[in-house]
A and B are shown apart, each in its own frame.
Chain A
Amino acid sequence: MATILSFAAIFPLNTLGHYIHWHWFYISVANLIVIILMVVTFVSALLLPFPGRRRRKENQ
C-alpha cells in the first residue's frame, strides 16, 4: 500500500545558499526576505484599517 503521509519537505532548501555581497555587506537571500517581510508586515500593521470601527464609535 502506498504511503499517504510523507514527512519530506516539498521544497527543501538544502542547496548551497544564495548570497548578496556588496562591499563589506553580505546577506543571504533567505535572511533578506525575512527582514523585508518584517518591515512590510510592520508597515502594513500600521497602515491597514482595524475592523470594528463602528462598534468603537458606539461605545465612546
Chain B
Amino acid sequence: MRRRSLGSLATVALVAAAFASGVTPARAQVSVSSPYLDIVNRYQSGDQAKAVADMAAYPTAKLSERARKDLRDLTCQVLCGTADCRRARSEKPEEFERVLEAWGASLPAAAALHVDTAIQAQAEDRRDVAEAHRVLALELVDLMEQELAPSTGGSPITRPRITDGPAFSGPTQIGPDTRIARRAQASQLITLLSVWLLQLRGDLAQIQAPLARAQQRFPQDPLVALALGSLHEANAAPNALVEASVGRQGNLEKWRQEERAFRLEQALAAYRQATTLDPTLAEAHLRIGHVLLLTGKVDEADAAFARASAETGDKRWRYLAEMLRADAADARGDRPGARQRYQAALAAWPDAQSPVLALSRIDASSGEWTEAQARLAALSPRTGGRAEDPWWAYGFGQAWRIDAGLTTLRRLVVR
C-alpha cells in the first residue's frame, strides 16, 4: 500500500521549504504521496475549502495513527530510507535535516487542516467528527513541538523560546526568525481555535486541557488570559453551578455561593491580567465590567465599560459597552439614562435585538404599553430573522473570533 502510494509521487508535493516561503530560498522539493497527504497538500496549496470537505469525509477511525504514519514516518522513509525516525536522526543527520524541514512545513499545515475541519464539522453538528479532528490537531501541535525540538547535538531549526519573552507571544508579533515565528503562530492559533471551538460548544470540562497547554506555552498572550477568564466566568453561571453540584452532598446552596464567588474572582484576575498584557484590549475591560456587574459592583462596572468604550473603535465593543452601561444605569434606577444608552447601543448596532427588548421593558415599566408592544414588530420573521446581536455571543467566550482566527491560520500555512 505504501509502495503504491510512493509510486505516484509526481503530482503531490510535500514541500520542505513551503513554510519558509519568502524567507529563505527553497531547497529541492521532496514529493511524498498518500491519500491523507494529498489532502494536506491541497490545504497547503490554497484549495482549503475542498481540503476541509475531503478531510471531513475521511474516516475518523485510526485517523491519528494514519496522520502520524504519513506525516512523520513516510517522510522519513522517503528522505532517509527508513521509517524509524530515531534511527534516521542519529544515523543520517544530513538527510534528517531535510526531514525536519519537511515536518516544519507539513505538521503546522496538517494541524491547521484538522482544526479547520473540526470547526466545519461542528458547524454541521457532526460532533464526533469535530472532536476527532480537534484532538488530532492538538496532537500534531504536540508532535511538532516534540519533533522539532533541538536534539542534544544541535538542530538546524532553533527551538522557539516562546516562554522567554514577547517575541512569540501574540498572533500579530513576529520573532527574529520568521519561519519559526510563523510556526509558533500556527501552533498558538491552533491551540486557541481548539479552545474557542470548545467555548462555542459550551464544553467547559474539555477546555481545561488545551487552555492549560496554551497558558504554559503562551503565557504572554492576552487572548489566553481572556479565555481563562471566560472559562471561570462560564463556570460561575447559575446553570453551570447547578450542573456541577449534582451528586454533591451537604449544603449545596452554600457550596454554589462559594464556588461562584471563587470563580468570579478568578475570572476577574484573568481579565485583569489580559489588560496588563494589552491595556488596549477592549474585550478584557468589558468583561471585567460584566463580572463586576455580576457581583453587584455597579459603579465600578460602569467605569470598566467606559474604559472598554474608550479603548476601541470597533462597534462590537462600543455596542456591548453601551448595553452594559444601560443595564448599570437601570440597576441604579436611572431609567432615562438607561433608555438613552440602549438607544445609543441600537445606533451602534442597528440589527441588534437585545436593546429592542430592553427598551420594551422600560416602556412597560413606565406604563407605555402601546410603545412596548409596538417594539415587538422588530421581532417579526422579516426583521427578527435577520437580527445579529453581539450579545448572543458573549456567553461563548472568544468563539466569535473563530472566523478571523481561521482566516489568519489559513493564510499562515498556505504555500
Q: Do A and B come from one complex?
A: no
Binding site for B on A (CB under 8 A): none
